[in-house]
Amino acid sequence: MDKFESLRAFVQVVESGGFAAAARQMDLSRSAVNKLVMHLEDDLKVQLLHRTTRKVTPTATGIAFYDRCVAILADLKEAELAVSQMQQEPKGRLRINAPMSFGTLHLAPALTDFLLQYPDLQIELTLSDRFIDPIEEGFDVTLRIAQPPEAASLIVHKLVVAHRVVCAAPSYFEKYGIPTTPTDLKDHSCLHYGHFATSNQWTLTSADGHHTVTVQGVLCSNNGEVLREAALKGLGIALLPTFLVGGDLQQGTLRQVLMDYPPRQISAYVMYPVNRHLSTKVQLLTEFLKARLGDRPYWDDAV
């Protein structure tokens, strides 16, 4: 029995969470996938998977072996690509997941230019602000604007710093005054991201350290464009990334405050499973986005 096929079956079962899902991914029968994994366990004389009627999970040994398998299969893929020289002509489908606002405003125009450069590619773009598991949901590339996860099964590249600012409409400040310290925000209507109960703390920094403030307001949302629209209407102060509000700051429809207390930095990251790290399509897209955004992204020119 092919050892590499057994390794592929084991990796696919772990990533899919079960034999049936792995069989669909590999276009094999469930029994065939089970035999491949059992052959691997017999050969190694260890149990790699816990099997129940409801789910399949790796044992402690299986988790460690999974990481090694992923690296081995990635090296094999590199050798195959080198022989076939497929990297010269990237083809096929590329599944991408990205945040909603960044995706519509900045990733979408970038991807259209990318497709013009590589016309044999097909891109499937899914936009969602939900934090997803790239491996479980089968994405080749995931973009996130947050702290990247620490996972041995993912490769993470920083693309660019996503600067954020505290801002509101001039009409709001005319009516309610301008905060001069982070503590002043407690007396203002603040439009914040996420949920009222869990995401209403803003952390700003200064020479004397971090300042964490619990804010309150009339609106919270899991989408930055919603908060931007509310800020433009004078409903409150928002903490938003410049890729959303750079143009508003330049035009004066939003005004930045608390410049001496910048928010903690976050960055845009591209992530992909280890077993995609030798994919020509993934590498080309990563380098394209790095070049497109640069050290100082174009949207910050407006700030």
Q: Are 202 and 192 in contact (CB under 8 A)?
A: yes
Report pLDDT digits (tens) over 49-63.
998 877 899 999 999
Task: Please say whether the beta carbons of 142 and 132 come within 8 A.
Answer: yes
Mean pLDDT confidence for 193-204:
74
- pTM of the prediction? 0.66
pLDDT confidence bin for 273, thresholds 50/70/90: confident
pLDDT at 1 over 60: no
Average pLDDT, the chain: 87
Task: Give all domains of the chain, ordered by start, each with its CATH number.
Answer: 3-84 (1.10.10.10), 89-159+266-302 (3.40.190.10), 164-257 (3.40.190.290)
